[in-house]
C-alpha cells in the first residue's frame, strides 16, 4: 500500500512538472517560508535573554532574526502560494480532460453497462476537486511536515518536557488514518445511492419527465424518493464525520490539559531559578506551535489520504483504460468491400451484472449485398446484435467475422469508419443543423481514409452542403430543413438562446439523414428508424431507405433494419427472427409466412391490430 501511495505521489508530481516546471519548484518555497516562521520562538527567546541579561548582541540577534523570519518568510510564503494556486486549476483541467478521454475513447461500451465501473466513476466525480488540489495537498503536506521538525528542534532546545506534548500526536495520527478509512468505506457504500439520487434529481428538472410527473401527480413521490436516496447517500459520510469530530474534540481537550500542566511545571522551575526566563518565554510560544503541530499531523494524514484515495481511483480508471485497450489489439484494416459478409459463430453475450445472457449460441450469416430485417419482441436481443456487429460490445463467447477476419483482429476505429446508422435512441445534437447532420461524414470529408491512426491536431471538417442536402433527401427529411428558419444555419435545441425545438419525428428524421451522409458503408444499421413516425409516414419513407440500402448493397455492404413493425420488412432480402436471445427463424418474408411459425404469428397479430 505504501508503495502504491508513493506511485500516486509520483504521478501528481509528474503531472505538475509537465504543466509548469517553474511553478512546481516555486511552490516549494512556501515550505522554506514555513520553516522560518516556526523559528520565531527561538528568536523571541534570544530577545528575552538579551533584555534580562543586558547582553546587546543577544538582543540584536533576536530582533534581526525575528524581523527576517517575519518579512522574508512572508515573501516566500506568498510566492509559493501564488505558484500552487496557479497550478490548481491547470492540474484540475488536466485530470478532468484525462478522465473524459479515458472514458470516452474506450474501445467498446462495456464499461458504460458495468455497475461497478459506474459506481467507481460516481465516487471519482464526487472527488474530482481533490484531483485538482492534489499538488496543493502535497505542498501542504510538506509544509505540515517541516513545521513539526522545526518546532521539535526548538522545543528540545528550550525544555525537553515540551516534547511530552508530542505523545498526543500519535493517537491523533492514528485516528486520522481511521477517519480516512471510514471515508473510503462511505464513498464505496454510498455510490449506488448517490447515482440514484442524481438520477431522480435530473428527472425533477427535465422538461420531458416533468410532463409525465405532472400528468400522473407523481412529483411528490419523486421528491420523496429523491430525499430517501439522498439520505442514504449522505448517512455514511455523516457518521464518519461525527466520529472524527468527536475524537478531535477529545484530542484538543487532552492537549490543553497537558499543556497547562507542563507550563505550570516550567513556571514553578522558573520561579526557583532552575529554568531561565528566556527558555520559559520560548516554551510559552512553542506550546502554541506544538498544538499546531499535533493538528497539522492529523489534518495532513486526513487530507493527504483523501487526495491519494482520489488519485487511487483515477489510477484505477487509467489501468481500466489500459486493460481495455490491451484487450483490443487489432490493427488490421477493414476491407474496402465485403465479399462474403458478416458472420456470427456461436456468439453469446451477457451484460455486466445481468442474471442471464442477452444472446446465446447465435449462428447467423449476413451475406454481402443483402438487406436484412431483424424482428422480434422486446428483449429478444435485437439491439444487442447491433452492438456486437458494430464492435460496441465484446462477445462473451464465440466470434464475429467480417468476411473471414475476426472482428477482434480489426482496428475498431477503422471498422466503425465503415459503418453508419440511425437508432431509436438517437443523438440529439443541439448544434447548428449543418453540424448535427454533417458529423455523420467527418472521416470522408478530410480527404483521408484514416486507418489505425489518431488525428488530434487537425480537426475533421463538416461535409459540403450538397452532401448534407443529398443525405436529407435520401432520408426524406428535406421538408424538416425547409421548416427551419435559417436552414442549415439554424441552431437546434430550445435550451439555447435562439434555438429551435423539433418534434420527436423531426429529430429522428435528421438522425436518419446523419446516417445517410457516410457514403457506401460496409454496414448500414437502421435500428427502429421510424419509431417516432406514424405508419403512413413510415411506409412513404421506407422506399427511400430501401434505395439507400441498395446503394450500400451494390458496394458490398450489409443493410440491417431492426424494427417492430413487420409491414416494413416484406421487401427485405432476408428476415431474421430473434426470440429469447437466439435465432428462431430466418428466410424471406414469403418463406416465413408459408412456414406458419413464430414470424407468421407475430405478423398476423400486428396486421390484425391495424385493421
Q: Is the same domain home to 290 and 424?
A: no
pLDDT at 169: 58
Would residue 484 count as lying in a domain?
Answer: yes
What percentage of the chain exceeds 70 in pLDDT?
Answer: 83
Q: Is the same domain home to 351 and 293?
A: no
Q: What is the pTM of this model?
A: 0.70
- Which of 86-90, 263-267, 339-343 is most confident? 339-343
| Predicted confidence (pLDDT) at residue 18 exceeds the cutoff of 80 | yes
Q: Is the same domain home to 107 and 152?
A: yes
Q: Is the same domain home to 398 and 534?
A: yes
Q: Is the same domain home to 312 and 375?
A: no
| Predicted confidence (pLDDT) at residue 411 exceeds the cutoff of 90 | yes
- The average confidence (pLDDT) of the chain is 80
pLDDT at 342: 95
Relative orientation angle of helices 56-104 and 40-53, to the nearest 10 degrees: 170
Would residue 460 count as lying in a domain?
Answer: yes
Distances (CA, A) of 321 to 114, 245, 324, 326, 452: 14, 38, 5, 9, 18
Distance CA 186, CA 193 (A): 11
CA quadruple 318, 323, 329, 333: dihedral sign: negative
Q: Is the same domain home to 360 and 309?
A: no
DSSP H helical ranges for 475-531: 478-482, 504-517
Q: Is the same domain home to 143 and 14?
A: yes
DSSP secondary structure letters along 506-520: HHHHHHHHHHHHS-S
Three cell numbers at 120? 467507481
Would residue 176 count as lying in a domain?
Answer: no
| Predicted confidence (pLDDT) at residue 284 exceeds the cutoff of 80 | no
pLDDT at 577: 93
Would residue 259 count as lying in a domain?
Answer: no
Would residue 481 count as lying in a domain?
Answer: yes
Q: Please give the residue range of the domain that contains residue 118.
A: 9-159+275-321
Q: Is the same domain home to 303 and 404?
A: no
Domain count, the chain: 2
pLDDT at 424: 79
Would residue 239 count as lying in a domain?
Answer: no
| Predicted confidence (pLDDT) at residue 444 exceeds the cutoff of 50 | no
Q: Which CATH number does the domain housing residue 426 bear? A: 3.40.50.300
Last residue of one domain, picked from the residues 289, 321, 353: 321
Segment 539-558, tens digit of pLDDT? 656 666 666 666 666 667 89
Of 303 and 369, the structure prediction assigns the larger pLDDT to 369
Q: What are phi and psi of 332, to 5 degrees?
A: -65, 150
pLDDT at 172: 62
State the Rg of the chain over Cα: 34
Would residue 299 count as lying in a domain?
Answer: yes
Would residue 389 count as lying in a domain?
Answer: yes
Segment 179-222, tens digit of pLDDT? 767 777 787 888 888 888 888 888 877 766 766 677 667 778 78
Q: Is the same domain home to 560 and 491?
A: yes
Q: Which residues pair with 574 in a beta bridge?
A: 372
DSSP secondary structure letters along 377-434: -TTSSHHHHHHHHTTSS--SEEEEEETTEEGGGB-HHHHHTTEEEE-SS-----SBHH
pLDDT at 547: 65
Secondary structure (3-state) at 584: strand
Q: Is the same domain home to 434 and 311?
A: no
| Predicted confidence (pLDDT) at residue 483 exceeds the cutoff of 50 | yes
- Which of 32-46, 209-223, 326-340, 554-568 is most confident? 326-340
Q: Is the same domain home to 305 and 377?
A: no
Last residue of one domain, picked from the residues 265, 290, 321: 321
Q: Is the same domain home to 494 and 359?
A: yes
Last residue of one domain, picked from the residues 290, 321, 352: 321
pLDDT at 133: 79
* CB burial string 264-290: b at 16+ within 10 A, e below: eebeebbeeeebbebbbbbbbbbbebb
Amino acid at each position: 500500500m505504501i508503495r502504491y501511495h508513493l506511485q500516486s505521489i509520483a504521478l501528481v508530481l509528474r503531472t505538475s512538472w509537465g504543466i509548469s516546471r517553474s511553478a512546481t519548484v516555486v511552490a516549494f518555497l512556501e515550505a522554506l517560508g514555513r520553516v522560518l516562521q516556526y523559528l520565531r520562538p527561538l528568536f523571541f527567546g534570544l530577545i528575552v535573554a538579551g533584555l534580562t541579561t543586558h547582553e546587546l548582541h543577544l538582543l540584536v540577534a533576536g530582533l534581526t532574526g525575528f524581523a527576517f523570519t517575519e518579512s522574508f518568510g512572508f515573501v516566500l510564503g506568498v510566492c509559493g502560494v501564488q505558484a500552487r494556486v496557479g497550478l490548481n486549476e491547470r492540474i484540475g483541467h488536466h485530470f478532468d480532460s484525462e478522465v473524459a478521454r479515458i472514458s470516452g475513447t474506450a474501445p467498446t461500451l462495456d464499461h458504460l453497462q458495468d455497475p461497478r465501473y459506474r459506481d467507481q466513476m460516481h465516487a471519482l466525480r464526487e472527488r474530482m476537486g481533490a484531483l485538482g488540489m492534489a499538488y496543493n495537498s502535497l505542498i501542504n503536506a510538506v509544509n505540515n511536515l517541516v513545521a513539526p521538525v522545526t518546532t521539535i528542534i526548538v522545543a528540545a532546545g528550550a525544555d525537553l518536557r515540551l516534547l511530552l506534548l508530542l505523545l498526543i500526536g500519535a493517537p491523533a495520527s492514528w485516528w486520522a488514518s481511521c477517519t480516512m478509512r471510514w471515508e473510503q468505506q462511505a464513498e464505496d457504500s454510498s455510490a449506488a445511492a448517490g447515482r440514484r439520487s442524481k438520477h431522480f434529481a435530473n428527472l425533477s428538472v427535465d422538461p420531458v419527465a416533468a410532463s409525465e410527473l405532472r400528468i400522473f401527480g407523481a412529483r411528490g413521490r419523486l421528491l420523496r424518493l429523491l430525499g430517501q436516496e439522498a439520505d442514504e447517500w449522505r448517512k455514511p459520510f455523516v457518521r464518519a464525520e461525527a466520529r472524527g469530530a468527536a475524537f478531535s474534540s477529545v484530542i484538543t481537550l487532552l492537549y490543553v490539559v497537558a499543556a497547562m500542566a507542563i507550563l505550570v511545571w516550567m513556571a514553578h522551575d522558573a520561579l526557583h531559578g532552575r529554568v531561565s526566563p528566556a527558555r520559559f518565554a520560548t516554551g510559552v510560544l512553542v506550546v502554541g506551535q506544538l498544538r499546531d503541530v499535533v493538528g497539522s499531523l492529523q489534518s495532513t494524514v486526513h487530507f493527504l489520504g483523501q487526495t491519494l484515495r482520489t488519485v487511487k481511483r483515477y489510477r484505477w480508471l487509467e489501468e481500466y483504460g489500459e486493460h481495455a485497450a490491451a484487450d483490443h489489439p487489432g490493427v488490421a484494416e477493414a476491407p474496402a468491400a465485403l465479399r462474403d459478409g458478416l458472420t456470427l459463430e456461436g456468439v453469446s453475450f451477457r451484460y455486466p451484472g445481468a442474471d442471464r445472457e442477452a444472446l446465446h449460441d447465435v449462428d447467423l450469416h449476413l451475406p454481402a449485398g443483402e438487406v436484412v430485417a431483424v424482428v422480434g419482441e422486446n428483449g429478444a436481443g435485437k439491439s444487442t446484435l447491433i452492438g456486437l456487429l458494430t464492435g460496441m460490445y465484446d462477445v462473451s463467447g464465440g466470434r464475429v467475422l467480417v468476411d473471414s477476419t475476426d472482428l477482434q483482429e480489426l482496428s475498431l476505429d477503422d471498422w466503425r469508419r465503415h459503418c453508419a446508422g440511425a437508432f431509436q435512441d438517437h443523438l440529439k445534437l443541439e448544434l447548428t443543423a449543418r453540424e448535427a447532420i454533417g458529423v455523420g461524414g467527418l472521416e470522408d470529408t478530410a480527404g483521408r481514409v484514416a486507418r489505425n491512426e489518431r488525428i488530434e491536431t487537425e480537426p475533421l471538417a463538416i461535409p459540403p452542403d450538397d452532401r448534407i442536402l443529398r443525405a436529407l433527401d435520401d432520408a426524406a427529411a428535406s421538408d424538416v430543413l425547409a421548416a427551419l428558419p435559417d436552414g442549415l444555419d439554424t441552431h437546434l435545441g430550445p435550451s439555447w438562446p435562439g434555438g429551435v425545438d423539433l418534434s420527436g419525428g423531426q429529430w429522428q428524421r435528421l438522425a436518419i439523414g446523419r446516417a445517410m451522409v457516410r457514403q457506401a458503408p460496409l454496414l448500414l444499421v437502421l435500428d427502429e428508424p421510424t419509431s417516432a413516425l406514424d405508419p403512413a409516414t413510415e411506409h412513404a419513407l421506407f422506399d427511400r431507405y430501401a434505395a439507400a440500402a441498395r446503394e450500400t448493397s451494390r458496394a458490398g455492404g450489409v443493410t440491417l433494419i431492426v424494427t417492430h413493425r413487420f409491414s416494413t420488412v416484406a421487401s427485405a432480402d432476408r428476415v431474421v427472427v430473434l426470440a429469447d436471445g437466439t435465432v428462431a427463424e430466418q428466410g424471406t418474408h414469403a418463406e416465413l409466412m408459408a412456414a406458419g411459425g413464430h414470424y407468421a404469428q407475430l405478423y398476423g397479430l400486428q396486421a390484425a391490430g391495424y385493421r
